[in-house]
Amino acid sequence: AQKVTQAQTEISVVEKEDVTLDCVYETRDTTYYLFWYKQPPSGELVFLIRRNSFDEQNEISGRYSWNFQKSTSSFNFTITASQVVDSAVYFCALDNFNKFYFGSGTKLNVKP
């Protein structure tokens, strides 16, 4: 069975703090993709990053960074120096063979 767990339901931080969103996944397959999406209050879903199971390199994009560790089945997302505009629900997702499984999401509140 495939499963994605985002144990943090809601996180509140003050602007400029760093915050890490956790994602743990389960799959028996060796080939799969992992994703992060952002859903701001307006409701649309915005793609942030894709990682395939054979690429464990961490990635940094501006204030965003991702830590993929197959040994612990985790794909964590860190926002450095958070901003109010980062307030949103963030979803981690797992795909193998075209079936996507989303976590339940982490709501991030960034206060000024």
Partner 1 sequence: NAGVTQTPKFRVLKTGQSMTLLCAQDMNHEYMYWYRQDPGMGLRLIHYSVGEGTTAKGEVPDGYNVSRLKKQNFLLGLESAAPSQTSVYFCASSFAPPRAYEQYFGPGTRLTVT
Judged by beta carbon, residue 15 or residue 24, the one nearer partner 1 is: 24
Query: Which of 110, 107, 109 is CA-nearest to residue 10?
Result: 107
SS3 of 36-80: the string is EEEECCCCCCEEEEEEECCCCCCEEECCEEEEEEHHHCEEEEEEC
Work out which of 20, 47, 56, 69 binds partner 1, going by CB under 8 A. Answer: 47
Of 21-29, 33-41, 70-78, 79-87, which part binds partner 1 (CB under 8 A)?
Answer: 33-41
Q: Minimum distance between the CB of residue 78 and partner 1, rounded to whole angstroms?
A: 20
Interface ranges with partner 1 (CB under 8 A): 4, 6, 9, 33, 35, 37, 43-45, 47, 50, 52, 91, 93, 95, 98-105
